[in-house]
Amino acid sequence: MNEKAINRKVNFEDLGLIAYKDAWEYQEKLFNEITRAKKEISEKESRQAVTPNYLLFCEHNHVYTLGKSGSADNLLINHLQLQAKKAEFFHIDRGGDITYHGPGQIVGYPILNLEYFVTGVRDYIFKLEEAVIQLLADYGIASERLEGATGVWLDTGTPRVRKICAIGVRTSRWVSMHGFAFNVNTDLEYFNFINPCGFTDKTVTSMEKELGAKQEMEKVKTALKAKIAGVFGMEIV
């Protein structure tokens, strides 16, 4: 019996600054496209057909998102205070707790047929973390994983432990959506109004804060895209 065809080509798109709701709806469209394609391939028992894959980068207007297993108590301000901060709030269908998205942050949404790239969800999250860890190393920032928590962290095992990249994903029928939020030039003040990812004893940071200067977003995006492609074995198109 022939092996299933594998498609490692990934369609990349930078959506720029986009409202969270618009990006979420676009993700859903692409997610549904892949799941429909997988169903058709299965029904026809075709081993030559392949499904598409997508990697979206964007920045969002100020917004807080709460994962399906999170607690609304981790949002520390009310509706009127949200409005005053020109921020929105969404309860969404990814894993994880509450996080913040805003300008100066690279938000990545890999919408992939995971069968082509990983052995499981843990492997998927590990590889997302690995791409960010490798990128930060190129900038002279030592980062690592934190046991019991997703994302990329600095100075683990010390009182100064802080997160620079949050990860929260949804997978269904071996298709992924949502993804990661990587702080580059992020306004960290907005994290003061939540318990980030549900933690009350840990802080957040950014490349700008760690390096003492604003970073060139396009340069970081290009480097991060290359790291993701390398770790997952993608062919970016």
Q: Report the domain count for the chain.
A: 1
Residue 4 forms part of a structural domain: no
User: Which stretch of DSSP H or E encloses residue 27?
Assistant: helix 20-44
Angle at 71 between CA 65 and CA 75, to 5 degrees: 55
Quick check: is 222 in a domain?
yes
Taking residues 195-215, what's their average pLDDT? Answer: 84
Q: Which residues are catalytic?
A: 197
Do the domain assignments include residue 76? yes
224 secondary structure, DSSP code: H
**pLDDT reported for residue 183:** 98
The whole-angstrom separation of Cα 157 and Cα 154 is: 9
| Within-domain flag for 1 | no
**What is the spatial distance between Cα 113 and Cα 95, in angstroms, rounded to a whole number?**
18
pLDDT, residue 200, reads: 54
Which residues constitute the domain of residue 25?
9-236
Tell whether the model's pLDDT for residue 197 goes beyond 80.
no
Whether 158 maps to a domain, the answer reads yes
Cα gap 155→160, rounded to integer Å: 6
Q: What is the mean pLDDT of the chain?
A: 91
Residue 14 sits in a domain of what CATH number? 3.30.930.10
**How confident is the model over 172-186, as a mean pLDDT?**
96
The tens digit of pLDDT for each residue in 35-45 reads: 999 998 888 87
Within-domain flag for 3: no
Within-domain flag for 187: yes
pLDDT above 90 as % of the chain = 70
Residue 199 pLDDT? 59
Q: What is the pLDDT of residue 198?
A: 55
pLDDT tens for 77-115 read 777 787 778 888 888 777 777 889 999 999 999 999 999
Q: Do the domain assignments include residue 2?
A: no
Which pLDDT band, with edges at 50, 70 and 90, does 1 fall under? Answer: very low
Alpha carbon distance 70, 22 (integer Å): 22
CA dihedral (219, 221, 227, 232) in degrees, to 10, reads -160
- 59-83 confidence digits (pLDDT tens): 999 999 888 777 777 787 777 787 7
